[in-house]
Amino acid sequence: MTRALFISLFSCLIAINQASLINRCDLAKLLHQEDLDGFEGYSVSDWLCLAFVESHFNMSKVNEYADGSSDYGIFQINSHYWCNDYQSHSENTCHVACQELLSPNLLATIHCAKKIVSRAGGMKNWAEWSIHCAGRPLSYWVTGCHMG
């Protein structure tokens, strides 16, 4: 029994260790530096809410779907439309390899997210943002963060 508990705990620690999490305020500062505050009418708070509802700030998150596509990175960008996973058909609108969307520097991810938001629908292209963030007060997402 003790051995099974130890193995279970060890497996959880490995899974947690493999996640590349970014601090909310560090992400806010980066988004501000990359001119996302006000981009296409969306605030840094919108972007933070999106990152939280999609990945819980996990830059290395990958979600696989039955249709063969996958969502990648902190904003969960889909391989069918936006990036090339070299496994399934992709429109690759962002002209980027999906693996680049898992990079901790987030520049490829931010560049691609800007393309997505610039399209019709804006952030509504992310269903989770529409459900959990749209039309809600979001200023608390930047509380305590010094972006200047």
Q: Annotated active-site positions, please?
A: 54, 71
Contact between residue 29 and residue 47 where contact means Cβ atoms under 8 Å apart? no
d(CA 17, CA 11): 10
d(CA 106, CA 94): 14
Dihedral sign computed on CA atoms, order 75, 12, 20, 87: negative
CA distances from 32 to 62, 112, 146 (A): 25, 16, 10
Residues 6 or more apart whose CB falls under 8 angstroms from that of 77 comprise 71, 83, 94, 98, 101, 109, 112, 113, 116
